Amino acid sequence: MKYFILLLAAVLLAQAEGEWKVKTVDEFNDMRRDCHKEIPFSEELQKKEEVLRFPDEEVVRKYLLCIAKTWEVFDEENGFNMDRLIVEFELLLNRDEVLPIAKRCVDKNEQGSSPDVWVYRVQQCVGKTKLGPLFLEALGKLSK
């Protein structure tokens, strides 16, 4: 019985550690900094990032892929987790406003694009909606 309780506690602890949660602004900015350590931007690209106007360049696509994976809203095997994206964006708009944007922008990669191109395409679409400016505002104009 003692071993059963220990095993049950270990399983519950493992599940609790693996649960996804909405990220705070600080957590998101930490993710950005970590991805920039792995994928540094030039000063010019940093300025474009501050207004979410990313050029279609490999370094940018790899950075956005890093963000999406670290944010836990995307994995290369399954693509985007629509439920997580909606919950994240509900911090900025209500669900009735978020849902049509997500449905319009988040595709199932029918094009067969590489993961970085797929993430870039979705980011470009979302960034051009009213979520873009709200996202920048929430992040404090992408604090460094």
* pLDDT tens per residue, range 14-38: 334 469 999 998 999 999 999 999 9
CB-count exposure of residue 131 (10 Å: 0-12, 13-18, 19+): buried
User: What kind and span of H or E run contains 80?
Assistant: strand 79-80
- For the domain bounded by 25-138, which CATH number is listed? 1.10.238.20
What is the maximum span of the chain, computed from C-alpha positions, in angstroms?
A: 62
- Percent share of the chain, pLDDT over 90: 72
Q: β-strands 79-80, 74-75: how paired?
A: antiparallel
pLDDT tens digits along 89-117? 998 999 999 999 999 999 999 999 999 99
pLDDT(58) > 90? yes
Round the average pLDDT of the chain to a whole number and report it: 85
Tell me, what's the pLDDT at 16?
40
Tell me, what's the pLDDT at 144?
44
